[in-house]
Chain A
Amino acid sequence: MLTTTAIFPDLPAFRPEKTRVSGLSLSRGDLTLVRDFSLDLGPGEAVLMSGPNGTGKTTLLRAIAGFVRPDEGRVSFGAGPEPASSADCVAWLGHADGLKSVETPRQALRFWAQMGGQGRSAILPLLRAMAIESLIDRPVSRLSRGQQRRCALVRVALANRPVWLLDEPAGPLDGGGRTRLADLVAWHRSRGGSVIAATHQLLDWSDARRIDLGAHR
């Protein structure tokens, strides 16, 4: 359900993937962060992970993306006999936005479009959907934190991957930005994509599953 009049571009369809996390245990030093965490996520579904600071939301997301090796358990994508790897199907938004301060959104997004083998034509409509199309030629160092985050969200959408892993996506966003984020996520789910987001904010995503990580220690 879209709440603004944002128009999203027609990207080539991707193959929707299942995400399966089974029996994941994570620790930092000798501190156990997550114990025996399991999650099954199908196409079109969204999960909002919450929990106090330090419960391991970020570490869990990083483990699902394959950046950190879990103590136990495994993460797999796809249902077929040949499981896909995170490098095939994950679009990532971390704490840092992955932008270079001397680049403009146009340069950065063109680069990532080329890296992902995507066309450039979707850049402008996506920037418009996040309401930052007027900033396309302004260096990232002169964008506010919220504007940088919107630009990073455009990069996530531009990757055209089925599984989005978002770490505090709404952190620096204002009310309008959160609405547009919700629309972006709704659009992604309507295409068969899935989203796992770590957040401590109350995000109003329609029928998103909510998981309190504090209960998994």
Chain B
Amino acid sequence: MSALGAILAREARLAWAGGGGPAGPAAFFLGAITLAPLAIGPAADLLVAVGPGIMGFAALLSVLQSADRLFGDDHVDGTAELYLLSGVSLPGLVLAKVLGQASATLWPLPVIGLFGALMYGVPVLPACVGALALLAAIPALSLIAGFAGALAAGVRRSGLLIALIATPMMVPVLIFAAGAGRSALAGDERALANLLLTIAVSLATAALAPFGIVAAVRSRMG
């Protein structure tokens, strides 16, 4: 257990030291939700209607933005081999690694999502539900991004491959997370159902994705 704690702490430290911690995803997210209204137009009722959806969509893109580093760096600098020989349970290891990095880099997303939705004119309650849904979606999004990153580790232009692999897999969690905010805005009770489904997808991903990531890391070794 202490080994998994060490991995969690190290990933968080590396994210702060090497990649500016949460600055990258936060800046990307902020940029996306600031630019979207300029393209959509200034109609207030339209912005309220698209607010929850834009938050979910922009959060998804900002998770993808740093996906190449998580397993790509380990592949290049030889850390991946050491992990395979570490004797630590590998699915647990990659889960700790992904969640360690996610907790260090992605925590601003629900906060920005909350204030972004409020600025789009979304009322407080739906904005909070949307932010909660983003929080619930982060494990699924980061694990899917990690899986795609592990498959693309060491490939040139891995960003392209990651986008092609990860975006289709992120469809369910995007639908449920954005749907939670939209249902809350419309005032129907499906908001809670969507929120619970987002959590369910995150839990299922946490149970399955680590095995896929381990297989991907091994296959990239050959």
- Whether B10 lies near A111 (C-beta < 8 A) is yes
B interface vs A, CB < 8 Å? 2-3, 6-7, 10, 13-14, 17-18, 73, 76-79, 81-82, 84-88, 221-222
Which of A1-9, A97-105, A189-197, A209-217 sits within the interface? Answer: A97-105
Q: A96 and B87: CB pair below 8 A?
A: no
Neighbouring B residues of A112 by C-beta, 8 Å = 82
A116 at the interface (CB under 8 A from B): yes
User: A143 to nearest B CB, angstroms?
Assistant: 14
Expressed in whole angstroms, the minimum distance between the Cβ of B100 and any Cβ of chain A is: 12
Contact indicator A87/B85 (Cβ below 8 Å): yes
A-B contacts, 12 of them at CB < 8 A, read A67-B221, A86-B85, A87-B85, A87-B86, A96-B77, A98-B81, A100-B14, A100-B18, A101-B77, A102-B17, A103-B14, A107-B13
Task: Please determine whether B87 and A116 come into contact, CB atoms closer than 8 angstroms.
Answer: yes
Interface residues of A in 41-77 (CB under 8 A from B): 62, 65-69
| Pairwise interchain contact B221-A96, C-beta atoms closer than 8 A | no
Q: Are B85 and A68 in contact (CB under 8 A)?
A: no
If A88-B87, A115-B3, A117-B3 touch, whether A101 touches B82 (CB-CB below 8 Å) is no
What are the residues of chain B within 8 A of A97 when measuring CB–CB? 77-78
Residues of A at the B interface (CB closer than 8 Å) are 62, 65-69, 86-88, 90-92, 94-103, 107, 111-112, 114-117, 155
Q: Which 9 A-B pairs have the closest CB atoms?
A: A96-B78, A98-B78, A102-B17, A114-B6, A67-B221, A102-B18, A87-B87, A98-B82, A94-B78
Please report whether the interface of chain B is mostly helix, strand, loop or mixed according to DSSP. helix
Q: Is the CB of A114 within 8 A of B221?
A: no
A63: min CB distance to chain B, Å: 10
- A61 CB to closest chain B CB (Å) equals 11
- Min Cβ gap B96→A in Å is 11
Which residue of B13, B77, B88 contacts A115 across the interface (Cβ within 8 Å)?
B88
With A88-B87, A92-B82, A98-B82 known as contacts, the answer to whether A68 contacts B77 (CB < 8 A) is no
* B18-A114 in contact (CB<8A): no
Chain A positions within 8 Å of B13 at CB level: 103, 107
Chain B CB within 10 Å, residue with most, of A88, A92, A96: A96
Q: Is the CB of A116 within 8 A of B86?
A: yes
For residue A90, which residues in chain B have a CB less than 8 angstroms away from its CB? 85
A100 is contacted by which of B6, B7, B79, B86 (Cβ under 8 Å)? B79
Structural contact, B17 and A68, CB atoms closer than 8 A = no
In the complex, the chain A residue whose C-beta lies closest to that of B77 is A96
Contact between chains at A68 and B78 (CB < 8 Å): no
Contact of B222 among A69, A95, A114 (CB under 8 A): A69
Residues of the A chain whose Cβ atoms lie less than 8 Å from the Cβ of B76: 96
Q: By the criterion CB–CB under 8 Å, are B221 and A100 in contact? A: no
Contacts of A102 in B (CB 8 A): 14, 17-18
User: What residues of B have a CB within 8 angstroms of the CB of A98 in the complex?
Assistant: 77-79, 81-82
- The closest CB in chain A to the CB of B86 belongs to A115
Q: From residue B219, how far is it (CB to closest CB) to chain A in Å?
A: 10
| Most chain A beta-carbon contacts within 10 A, residue among B2, B81, B221 | B81
CB–CB B222/A67 < 8 A: yes
Contacts of B84 in A (CB 8 A): 66-67, 87
What is the chain B residue whose CB lies nearest that of A113? Answer: B6
Set of chain B residues within 8 Å of A96, measured between Cβ atoms: 76-78
Q: B78 and A95: CB pair below 8 A? A: yes
Q: How far is the CA of A192 from the CA of B3 in the complex (A)?
A: 27
> In the assembled complex, how far is the CB of residue B194 from the closest CB belonging to chain A, in whole angstroms?
39
Closest Cβ–Cβ distance, residue A39 to chain B (whole Å): 19
Residues of chain A contacted by B3 (CB below 8 angstroms): 114-115, 117
Contact in complex: A92, B81 (CB < 8 Å):
yes
What would 9 more interface pairs be, CB under 8 Å, given A65-B81, A66-B85? A87-B86, A91-B85, A96-B76, A98-B78, A98-B81, A100-B77, A102-B14, A102-B17, A115-B88
